[in-house]
Amino acid sequence: MNQFRTVLSVFTIALLFTSCNEKKLTEVQVPLPEEEATTVQMGNPADIIANEGTFKMMPLPYAYDGLEPSIDARTMEIHYSKHHLGYINKLNEVIAGTELEKLTIEEILKSLDLENKTLRNNAGGYYNHNLFWSSMSSKGGGEPTGSLNTAIKKDFGSFSDFKNQLAEAANKQFGSGWAWLVTDKTGKLTIVGTANQDNPLMPNIGVTGTPILALDVWEHAYYLKYQNKRNSYVDAFFNVINWKAAEKRYDETVKKELPVKVL
- The residue ranges that bind Mn ion (CB under 5 A) are 216, 218, 221
| Bridge-based pairing state of the strands 189-195 and 210-216 | unpaired
Q: In the bound complex, what is the minimum distance in angstroms from residue 38's beta carbon to Mn ion?
A: 27
Q: Which is nearer to Mn ion, 129 or 249 (CB)?
A: 129
- Considering the complex, state which of residue 216 and residue 247 has its C-beta at the smaller distance from Mn ion: 216
Report the nearest approach of Mn ion to the CB of residue 82 (Å). Answer: 10
Residue type for position 212: I
Q: What angle do CA 243, 247, 249 make, to 5 degrees?
A: 115
Question: What is the closest distance, in whole angstroms, from the C-beta atom of residue 132 to Mn ion in the complex?
Answer: 7
Residue number closest to Mn ion, CB atom: 216
CA 134 to chain centre: 11
Please, are residues 213 and 247 in contact by the beta-carbon 8 Å criterion? no
For 11-46, b/e burial (b = at least 16 CB within 10 A) is: eeeeeeeeeeeeeeeeeeeeeeeeeeeeeeeeeebe
The C-alpha atoms of residue 2 and residue 146 are separated, in whole angstroms, by: 100
- Of the pair 128, 183, the CB lying nearest Mn ion is at 128
Least distance (Å) between residue 176 CB and Mn ion:
8
Q: Which is nearer to Mn ion, 48 or 103 (CB)?
A: 48
Nearest CB to Mn ion, comparing residues 221 and 240: 221
Least spacing, CB of residue 128 vs Mn ion, in Å = 7
Output 149 or 176, the one with its CB closest to Mn ion: 176
Least Å from the CB of residue 221 to Mn ion: 5
Q: How far is the CB of 123 from Mn ion (least distance, A)?
A: 14
Q: Residue 14's Cα: distance from chain center in Å? A: 63
Nearer to Mn ion, 189 or 192 (CB): 192
Other C-beta atoms lying within 10 Å of the C-beta of residue 151: 20
